[in-house]
Structure 1
Amino acid sequence: MFSDGALRPAARQSAVLNPWNGETVGSVPADTPRELDDAIRRIRAAWRPLSPRRRAEVLRGAAALLGERAAETSTLITGESGVCVKETRKEIERAVANLTVAAEETERLRGESIPIPGQDRLAVTVLEPVGVVAALTPFNRPLNQVVVKVAPAIAAGCPIVLKPSEKTPLTALAFAGLLMEAGLPPEQLVVTTGDPGLIGPALAGHPEVDMVTFTGSVATGRAVSAAAAGKRLLLELGGNDPLIVLRDADLELAVRLAAEGAFATAGQSCRGIKRVIAVEEIADELVAGLAEAARGKRAGDPLDPATDLGPLISQEAAAEVERRVLDAVAAGAKPMCGGERRGSLLAPVVLDQVPREAELVVEETFGPVAPVIRVRDAAEAVSVANGTRYGLQAGVVTSDAMAFLRIAAELRVGAVNLNAGPHFDSPHIPFGGVKDSGLGREGIRYSTREMSVTKTITLPLP
């Protein structure tokens, strides 16, 4: 594993495959739970919190190095994830922004002073690191999913044990090396790879781990929660995010948002648009525009700068999305374009009049699909939007500010965006959901505080 500042040799290796062509792009150690146990105990014994100034220097240095290596890092991400270079270049920009904001937040970690009424004492609070943070990340956006967990941990002063997805571990290992160059002490970071069924529970349940932060499926998140019982948790478990389009919407904007949110990263994003909920009066025009936008998307070789959509992470994943699309059509959905599959590549799909009970729109579908559900009015749109077990983010396109505020109050989600899609993001704002979409909030400032504990000190007043 990656420990003590370098990637250590291993008795067994696991291959990493390119989703586009099936070629082996690298191999990583197949760590065992026993090796992981040893590494966690060593990182705990060696941990000494860095000063806030030093933490900020490391994070700014990492941002600078990542910016300098944008081209090679983009190629690496594309090689193991299949996400096209148009998208991976943006991912690096987001990662640099997150690292920069984390450096700033390091210097904003402050407590408060509290005069105690009726007693001649003063209370002072200080924020301290929660301890060893275990971070488990998914395959989609293999750089930024790592950065949004590791950067706040560094900002808070915590040592990190990172387990990236077994499908996309190479980017995480490269980033770990970059952090060493930026000055992070070797004893502050471990990156473990191997069988997730063995390594994941061993990491989440380890007695020397104080906090677990996880992004992934609901089922795996529940297993992580059970293994980590008694520890602090930060869980991001996916979404079924709607874009609601009302009768007074700017339809050109709505089409652009729907196409961006449904097809970016081949639809493999928890905050991507999974449902387009359109009021009947404008649905025909919206669907026509969305189908035209989808036909203009080029799916193919992710290393080609002209490509808009690369493959899904595996043939199995693409076949599952294809099955859900066909099932929705069999249940009455009207196919407008796309859906042709070649291995792990799926042409962007637009479906109209999708039954709201179809699996495609009830569950989180990770693929380039824009399913349109027609409704009578805003009230029905809210009912449909709330009608799944997820509650991550939502977007509403309307010219009526008061209608938007009513809808925002009624939606059971973590964030609602006016004239922007659920895929809107910023390192400065909280990110997370309700219901089965997770627990706690990411976003650099908010994650940094999740990874901190409050200590209260009282002293007598003179």
Structure 2
Amino acid sequence: MEIHKLYIDGQWVEAEEFQELLSPYNQELVAQIPVANKNHVEQAITSAQKATKVMRGLSAAERSEILEKVSQIMSERKEECALILATENAKPLKAARAEIARTIETYKFAAEEAKRIHGETVPLGAAKGGKNRFGYVKKEPLGVIAAITPFNFPFNLTAHKLGPAFAAGNTVVLKPASQTPLSGFMTAKIFEEAGLPDGALNVVTGKGGVVGDLLVTDSRIKMVTFTGSVPVGLGIKEKAGLKRVTLELGSNAGVIVEDTDDLDAVAARCVEGAFNFSGQVCISVQRIFVKENLLETFIEKMRAHAKKLVIGDPKSEDTDISALINPGETDRIESWIIEAVNGGATIAYGGKRVGNAFEPTLVVNGGKNLSISCNEAFGPIVVVNPYKSWDEAIDLVNDSEYGLQAGVYTTNLQKAFDAAERLEVGGVIINDIPSFRVDNMPYGGVKNSGVGKEGIKYSVEEMTESKFVSFKL
């Protein structure tokens, strides 16, 4: 068992207090994690503030080289990183390796984007008072950014914050999720090896009420980028003042199955989207609305694909589904299933816990007011309901306090464009599930799904300031 340290100003710093990190799969003790106090957070912010001058002084090529080196080192250590995921958040190796592959690509995108940050000239002569004047806009880094990351994709979602921040010349204080600090420490080691200047990255672990609040309220922090729950996100928004804030707060993503040339392939894809990493994905498929004449066949095909999934040890090559992040989440999912059955829904497959895991569960005819329909499940549950008309399907997807992404299966081009116009979400995925994401696309929702956009180019825009310069000729 390893006793870990905080990473501040390029040094590994011992803490006075520790908390135990337990395996979600078997509750075995994995490591002792340092608990940062107020002094540690102060040191981290001071270090990041001091390093802003160094980062601003790096050329685009130098920033790009560091990020490219990070991608290269992670590629060399990808199996080690995947095992960290299997250990700290019970992500099955299949899914863990996929996350690391995406993380490597995310840092590559950031390395490339570092060379593309540019402003524009402004045609001042178009205004009556602008004759004989030349103007342009340049992009500058904000300064110190606080990054608060979740447990479900601790390597890649951290990369979505660190990559664009460093590409733009910012510095970062990172607070990883309490259950997944090992990925944060490994990320720091990789950046250290890649030659990132001391103080540009600081990693402080501990209680959100201490670390998070200090980061959100400190005037030296110029932006907070957060991925997590709605209540915490609302709290950050209220406390952040005039800081920039990007919030990715989750969803209960919907899919419309209107018509398709291959219903079996659609069912298989929906099973993948609903149960990958036990549904602990912001854009996990949670609500499926199927044209009523296809419902019975679709459910049978989904059931057949769900039966193939293997529940077990995340470090096994065969495992598809493992433990939820903590036993309390398994208890919650179990209670939601009981509520659904009592509310008249039918369990077409699954519905039972297996140790700290939960079976992939297919619920049919779940009412819109049930917890599994109107809240974010973040578990291996999907609700399938029929609809009669196209307009009804659109309304059913929109009947949610969330709006991150939605999927639409249709062979009708007019309906596809209609869905793109009318669905109240940040991303409409035609002929695929809402769980689709690649790391250079814009990503972010509306309503309670958050504010701002991720995706490297789009995050860089959030993490830079536009400065206007004018010359009188």
TM range (shorter): over 0.9
Match of 2:300? 288
Match of 1:243? 255
Mapped to 2, the partners of 1:7 and 1:81 lie a distance apart of 24
Contact 1:241 1:422 in 2 (8 A): yes
Contiguous gaps of at least 5 residues in structure 1: none
Contact 2:8 2:47 in 1 (8 A): no
Match of 2:83? 75
Mapped to 1, the partners of 2:185 and 2:356 lie a distance apart of 25
Of stretches 88-97 and 25-34 in structure 1, the one that deviates more from structure 2 is 25-34
Of stretches 378-387 and 157-166 in structure 1, the one that deviates more from structure 2 is 378-387
3-state secondary structure, aligned to 2:242? coil
Mapped to 2, the partners of 1:240 and 1:249 lie a distance apart of 26
Q: Equivalent of 2:288, from 266, 276, 282?
A: 276
Distance 1:250 1:279, change over 3 A: same
Match of 1:159? 171
Match of 1:454? 466
Match of 2:63? 55
Task: Tell me the percent identity.
Answer: 35
Match of 2:370? 358
The offset of 1:223, in angstroms, is 0.7
The offset of 1:42, in angstroms, is 2.8
Contact 1:15 1:24 in 2 (8 A): yes
Contiguous gaps of at least 5 residues in structure 2: 1-5
Contact 1:135 1:163 in 2 (8 A): yes
Q: Equivalent of 2:37, from 26, 32, 38?
A: 32
Q: Is 2:19 the counterpart of 1:14?
A: yes
The offset of 1:103, in angstroms, is 0.6
Match of 1:441? 453
The AA in structure 2 aligned to 1:28 is: I
Contact 1:250 1:399 in 2 (8 A): no
Match of 1:301? 313
3-state secondary structure, aligned to 1:371? strand
Mapped to 2, the partners of 1:400 and 1:442 lie a distance apart of 30
Matches within 5 A, 1:279-428: 279-428=291-440
Q: Is 2:109 the counterpart of 1:104?
A: no
Q: TM-score, normalised by structure 1?
A: 0.98
Match of 1:2? 7
Contact 1:339 1:348 in 2 (8 A): yes
Tell me the alpha carbon deviations over residues 246-269 of structure 1, each in whole angstroms, 9 at most, x when there is no partner. 144631222022111100111000
Of stretches 317-326 and 446-455 in structure 1, the one that deviates more from structure 2 is 317-326
Mapped to 2, the partners of 1:6 and 1:246 lie a distance apart of 56
Contact 1:277 1:373 in 2 (8 A): yes
Number of aligned positions between the proteins: 461
Contact 1:378 1:407 in 2 (8 A): no
Contact 2:51 2:171 in 1 (8 A): no
The offset of 1:460, in angstroms, is 2.0
The offset of 1:359, in angstroms, is 1.2
Match of 1:46? 51
3-state secondary structure, aligned to 1:134? strand
The offset of 1:35, in angstroms, is 2.0
The AA in structure 1 aligned to 2:145 is: V
Mapped to 1, the partners of 2:406 and 2:244 lie a distance apart of 27
Q: How big is the alpha-carbon RMSD for the aligned residues of Structure 1 and Structure 2?
A: 1.1
Contact 2:51 2:198 in 1 (8 A): no
Mapped to 2, the partners of 1:249 and 1:17 lie a distance apart of 46
Contact 2:9 2:44 in 1 (8 A): no
Contact 1:60 1:100 in 2 (8 A): yes
Match of 2:3? none
Mapped to 2, the partners of 1:411 and 1:248 lie a distance apart of 19
Mapped to 2, the partners of 1:271 and 1:247 lie a distance apart of 22
The AA in structure 2 aligned to 1:286 is: F
Mapped to 2, the partners of 1:312 and 1:402 lie a distance apart of 40
Contact 1:37 1:206 in 2 (8 A): no
The offset of 1:288, in angstroms, is 0.6
Q: TM-score, normalised by structure 2?
A: 0.96
Of stretches 413-422 and 26-35 in structure 1, the one that deviates more from structure 2 is 26-35
Matches within 5 A, 1:93-172: 93-116=101-124, 117=126, 118=128, 119-172=131-184
Contact 2:8 2:43 in 1 (8 A): no
3-state secondary structure, aligned to 2:19? strand
Q: Is 2:235 the counterpart of 1:218?
A: no
